Amino acid sequence: MNDSPKIYSDLTETPVALEMLSPQGLAALGGGQIAYVRPIRSDDLNRLFPQAPEIQPGLDLFALLGADGSPLMVTDSRAAAIANAWEHDLTPVSVH
């Protein structure tokens, strides 16, 4: 039996080995249902959020990203990022 991690799609009961997913398939998992809370530094803000204004470097921030990695919001509070996810019917998960 193959012991590699398996995932289940909402559309099928058949497990799929993670290594069999394309990068696009992996990014689509949880689309519209999951949001990732990721700690970032203000120095990286414009890479994730190109439209964001320049702010003081060296600040600890939290980005809320869609399942596909698309930026949704940024805040200085992890709790605010999680609350925003719940407010938009998304299940927040942490990225370490």
Mean pLDDT over 30-48 rounds to: 86
Residue 68: what pLDDT? Answer: 82
- The stretches of 1-96 forming alpha helices (DSSP H) are 23-28, 45-48, 78-87
pLDDT value at residue 80: 96
0.85 exceeded by the pTM?
A: no
Instruction: Give the pLDDT score at 27.
Output: 56
Residue 76 predicted with pLDDT over 50: yes
Beta-ladder partners of 63:
38, 74
Q: What pLDDT score was predicted for residue 67? A: 83
Domain positions in the chain:
1-29, 31-94
What is the rounded (10 degree) CA torsion for 69, 82, 38, 71?
30
